[in-house]
Amino acid sequence: MNSDIVNLRSFYSSVLGRLAERSITMAISSVWANLPNERLVGLGYTLPWLDRFGADSERVFAFMPATQGAVVWPAAGPSATALVFDEELPLVDSSIDRMLLVHSLEHAENPRETLKEIWRVLSPAGRVVIVVPNRRGVWARFEHTPFGTGRPFSRGQLNELLRDANFTPSSWADALFFPPSKRRFMMRFHGILERTGRRLWPIFSGVIVVEAQKRLYQGLPVAKRASRRVFVPVLSPQGAATRNLFAAAGSKPAGGDPPCMPTG
């Protein structure tokens, strides 16, 4: 099940969502290397972090999967949002310096193909930062948060997936050590639980954060893939075929005389 854009916005506007955003921000900060004037793309629902980490970027785009839906971003100025298919990004080869994935890879139809497409659009020294639900964590077991939907990963599974797609993981981090409870007295102690969990039960974090670098090989073959998507016009006119049918039969639309039928 994929997270809907309405549910995502609602979650991150709640108290629990703001605490989760703060925890994930700290984890991303620990693996985020400063690259001035970089071209940054967020894939999935990355708006809370693009505002923070994209301040020094030359160009920032927010790509949102078609199955999730999209909203206009930023609030002021021209929109930098695009509705995309994660296996067919509307970018030329080697055009992006870094990609940030949140609420993305766990919902991908084919995570390996998604990572290969990201490899294609990243520059030779490009980096990808991925946030995914932890298979061992508590957050992946409750569906009242976006981290309880999709396919959770273990660190070993994510490491193997990245290496298969020609990425080298360089830095790891964890976040969301406090339970996903909406009770106020539990959220009041989230800071203590977060610090305690980081020391005592790091393998049970709610999410895994990894930064990986694009790996280059001489003569690496790139296969051209045919699109598996079928595009249907959203605003296709309705009723045209019916009117043509009446005209061909020599009849009138509803309210007119019935057509004359030949007699034997």
Which tens digit of pLDDT belongs to each residue from 58-111?
Answer: 999 999 998 899 999 998 889 999 999 999 999 999 999 999 999 999 999 999
pLDDT at position 24, please?
Answer: 97
pLDDT at position 190, please?
Answer: 84
Name the token pair of 104.
């993305």
Q: Is the pTM of this model over 0.85?
A: no
pLDDT tens string 154-208: 999 999 999 999 999 999 999 999 999 988 878 888 889 898 988 888 899 999 9
Phi, psi of 25 (to 5 degrees): -60, -45
pLDDT at position 239, please?
Answer: 45
Nearest CA to 170 out of 132, 130, 204 is that of: 130
DSSP 8-state class, residue 247? H
Partners of 129 in the beta sheet?
Answer: 100, 211
Q: Round to whole Å and give the CA distance between 56 and 58.
A: 7
Domains of the chain: 5-214 (3.40.50.150)
pLDDT at position 246, please?
Answer: 44
Task: Name residue 242's amino acid.
Answer: T
User: Given pLDDT bands bounded at 50, 70 and 90, which one contains residue 2?
Assistant: low
Which helix (H) or strand (E) is 41 found in, with range? Answer: strand 39-44
On the CB side of 12, how many CA atoms lie within 13 Å of its CA? Answer: 20
Q: Round to whole Å and give the CA distance between 212 and 161.
A: 11
pLDDT at position 264, please?
Answer: 46
* Residue 226: Cβ-neighbour burial (10 angstroms; 0-12, 13-18, 19+): exposed
Cα distances from 13 to residues 6, 31, 107, 152, in angstroms, run 11, 25, 22, 23
Higher per-residue confidence, 238 vs 62: 62
Cα distances from 248 to residues 241, 243, 244, 254, 260, in angstroms, run 10, 9, 6, 15, 13
User: Given pLDDT bands bounded at 50, 70 and 90, which one contains residue 132?
Assistant: very high
